[in-house]
Chains A and B, each alone.
Chain A
Amino acid sequence: MARVLLDGEQVNFEGPPPRTALGTWTLIETFLEQSNLIVDRFLVDGVVWDAESGKDQDCYDTIEVFSMPIAQNLYNTVTGLLEQQNQILELWRDGAQVSLSTPWTVFQSQAMAIFLETQAFVQCVSLLSEYSKNNELTWAKTLMDAGEELNVGLSTAIDAFDSANCIGFSDAAAVEVISGLKRVYQVLSEEVIPSLDYGGNR
């Protein structure tokens, strides 16, 4: 008989357990949300399974779920973003210089790479911002303002890229984007991280 374990303890369902891995995930995720928890790891018969993989499994012997506090997840995410800080800033500083000493046709691909590297960071900040707003966290507004400043800088850089304007790109990179990035990193390190150390809501 199929069984489901949550943090090492067997889950008792009202009725039979869900038949598919996805069904089990959905049920457990909804349950955990009520306690400000999220799914950290989800194993199906000992193998890690990802709900976003698009591949369901309709029979199993054992599903093991390990949870994590949302605050801890946020903490891990923000720490990861801060670890990349120097790398991201260096990318843009380098781009600001190289765009002035390289023919545009050659620099274009480097500019695209910079945008792609930054995209994941921007998406993370956006999700964080959304989460903080929905949960009325203390740092919600400052993060949103910093994110907006960064977005304006990035838009300017994108406009310059689209019009093959190396000067516009260099100015946007050196001033607006780097300023926006630094502001976001500052909020993450001075407000978000300390608040997460104390459990999430302040």
Chain B
Amino acid sequence: MKPQTRALAVLRKRFPRLISRLMAGSKSGQTEIDSRSWRSRSKHGGNIVDRWLEGIELKPKTAYALTGFGDGSQIASLLHQLPENSFVFCAESNVDSFLLVVSHDETARLLEDERLFVGVGELDLDFFESLSRFPTLELTDARPLVFAPIYNESPEYYARFFTEFTRAFDYWRKLYGTNVTASAKWQRNTFKNARTLVAAPDIAEIKGAFEGIPIVMVSAGPSLDESLEFVKIHEARCVIVAVNSSYRALRNYGISPHFVIAADPSEYTDKGFDGVSCSRSVLLCPFIVYPNVVSRFHGRILTWSQNNLLASYLRLKVGKCLGSAIEEIGTVSACIFDIAKIFGSPSIVFVGQDLSVKDDGQMHVRDSFYTDLLANHVDIGECRTLPGNLEATVKVEGKLYIYLKAFEKLAEANANELALYNTSHYGVRVEGIPYVSLDEMTRVLDQKSFDNVEVKFRSVEKALSSVGIVDGQLVETLAVLSEFGSMICSLALNASLTLNAALFESTSNLDSHIVLAQNQKRDLVIRMEEDSDLRKVLEDGALKYELALYKRAIQRNSPPSDPLMKRAEDLLEYFWAISEGAFSFCRAIETSEQRDFVE
């Protein structure tokens, strides 16, 4: 294989997870594979690609799952004809042939096209990783696109690719959608929690505190109804970690979890703690958690923040180091993988992690706020059917399916570091987390000896006593953020009002108004770029959602037949998006200051 080429450099930048796969190189030992093998079977050369394209109808705003990279010629032609706002995810089964093609510079030009995404080889999580950067919210449809000359060489692989692509696309679309639509709330909560959580110790400060001791991770699936006794039996010898929705059931059964994880920013998160004591338990949470939860555990909190741009910024500004990174995908209990590694625990025993519903549609443990809110049952007719742990098949509701994929991803990633057990007898089978009955799990735990959990827990309490005070520095930092947000809001609002007034009065000098607006946009961008850290923080909140709306709005604006008016409308939408986002940002700071510093 040739050393670093331009195409490999592009791959490293755009698809980093594929590089290790490609660098492993040829597994077959063959190095002379003809990457143009399908072309050599044609007597009429390039006509094959033209003929293929003539027979397919390409639509806008569509994600196309394409079979086979080959020599890339059919992809180049496809991209040339691809309608606006459509994208291509191309699967190539043969790592060797892809490596040969990648050694050519024209492949680099192809790979630089941001409408093209690539997966090579095994259809695992790394294969589909680039879908996390797919503009899923802009797309209205996903379709398979067969290039038969390559498809027919590996029909089973490509048929499976279509199935897995649909699942992965659905998964990332839902996750990305949440990331954009909830961005304002996440940042608002971060501001409200800032005073408490910036001062609180990072979870890394108790690294290795539970070396060798297994974690019992208690979630709120229906299996928990019949597993509470198991948790009680092992309370003294394992680290008991609950989630907000299982906390009440445990407390009412006389179990005091050592830790409880809460991460959801919505008010329902707080309902998990209504009516029960929160004493002794330590809250593990990110900065976006619903602020009332933080209030309940004041002084008994360990946090993490590396995934949160604003939280990281605040920590660094008050003189703390960057916080820990805990992978948060979909459901709160998925955090336990990274938490276990920080704690030094060698194993996780999942209890109540059903990720499925019972035959009667029950989705959670009976003693939970879901039951109080009459939200503990779903229509099983709308669920997928998948293999179960004990049952041949179980019903998995849409949202739970996303969590299932997240768990499988994490189980695979942590397979070498953590022993994983699943005791959820009503649950769906989770690849990488084998089912073990409660009795068998007790036998497994009985065969091992662990250090005293209570002694270990006291070291945690010692770390909690080291909470510092950061009010002064925090106030200054918030003032800087507020001033920046106000300046940007003011510039954007001024530009939008000027342009709007000009359009309202007359369109006769439209081109000169557009020139002015473009200059104002340029100045706005320059001011935002003056401090890239502040810009990133601003763009990570409500502005993220406003800019997503802006992208949709400009597609609906005046048709290209009236280009001048379209430019004016697009500029107006841009200024409104910036001013709305910046205004929300300033309001969130103002509200948090009133809440925290009035005390």
Q: Are B41 and A101 in contact (CB under 8 A)?
A: no
Once bound together, how far apart are the Cα atoms of A101 and B51, in whole Å? 10
Shortest distance from the beta carbon of A26 to any chain B beta carbon, whole Å: 51
Residues of chain A lying within 8 A (CB to CB) of residue B149? 100, 166-167
Once bound together, how far apart are the Cα atoms of A98 and B145, in whole Å? 12
Q: Are A101 and B146 in contact (CB under 8 A)?
A: yes
Q: Which of A97, A105, A164 contacts B55 (CB 8 A)?
A: A97
Q: Are B152 and A103 in contact (CB under 8 A)?
A: yes
Once bound together, how far apart are the Cα atoms of A101 and B48, in whole Å? 11
Once bound together, how far apart are the Cα atoms of A104 and B156, in whole Å? 12
Chain B CB within 8 A of A85 CB? no
Q: Are A100 and B41 in contact (CB under 8 A)?
A: no
- Contacts A104-B155, A174-B51 given: A99-B42 contact, CB under 8 Å? no
Q: Are B38 and A167 in contact (CB under 8 A)?
A: yes
B interface residues, tally (CB under 8 Å): 22
Q: Which of B38, B43, B55, B146 contacts A103 (CB 8 A)?
A: B146
Shortest distance from the beta carbon of B243 to any chain A beta carbon, whole Å: 45
Q: Are B146 and A175 in contact (CB under 8 A)?
A: no
**Interface class of chain B by DSSP:** helix
Q: Are B48 and A175 in contact (CB under 8 A)?
A: no
By beta carbon, the residue of chain A nearest B74 is A100
0/1 interface trace, chain B 30-57, chain A, CB 8 Å (1 if under): 0000000010011110011001101110
Residues of chain A lying within 8 A (CB to CB) of residue B152? 103-104, 164, 166
Chain A CB within 8 A of B375 CB? no
Chain A CB within 8 A of B137 CB? no
By beta carbon, the residue of chain B nearest A106 is B146
Once bound together, how far apart are the Cα atoms of A91 and B51, in whole Å? 14
Once bound together, how far apart are the Cα atoms of A107 and B146, in whole Å? 12
Residues of chain A lying within 8 A (CB to CB) of residue B159? 103
Chain B CB within 8 A of A191 CB? no
Chain B CB within 8 A of A50 CB? no
Chain B CB within 8 A of A132 CB? no
Chain B CB within 8 A of A135 CB? no
In chain A between 160 and 202, which residues have their CB closer than 8 angstroms to a CB of chain B?
A: 164-168, 170-171, 174-175
In chain A between 74 and 128, which residues have their CB closer than 8 angstroms to a CB of chain B?
A: 94, 96-105, 107
- B interface residues (Cβ-Cβ under 8 A, vs A): 38, 41-44, 47-48, 51-52, 54-56, 145-149, 151-152, 155, 158-159
Extra 19 A-B pairs, beta carbons < 8 Å, given A97-B54, A100-B48, A100-B149: A94-B55, A96-B51, A96-B55, A97-B55, A97-B56, A100-B51, A101-B147, A101-B148, A103-B158, A105-B155, A165-B41, A166-B149, A167-B48, A167-B149, A170-B48, A171-B47, A171-B48, A174-B47, A175-B43
- A interface residues (Cβ-Cβ under 8 A, vs B): 94, 96-105, 107, 164-168, 170-171, 174-175
14 A/B residue pairs, CB under 8 Å, sorted by A: A97-B52, A97-B56, A101-B52, A101-B55, A101-B145, A101-B148, A103-B148, A103-B151, A104-B155, A164-B152, A165-B41, A166-B148, A167-B149, A171-B48
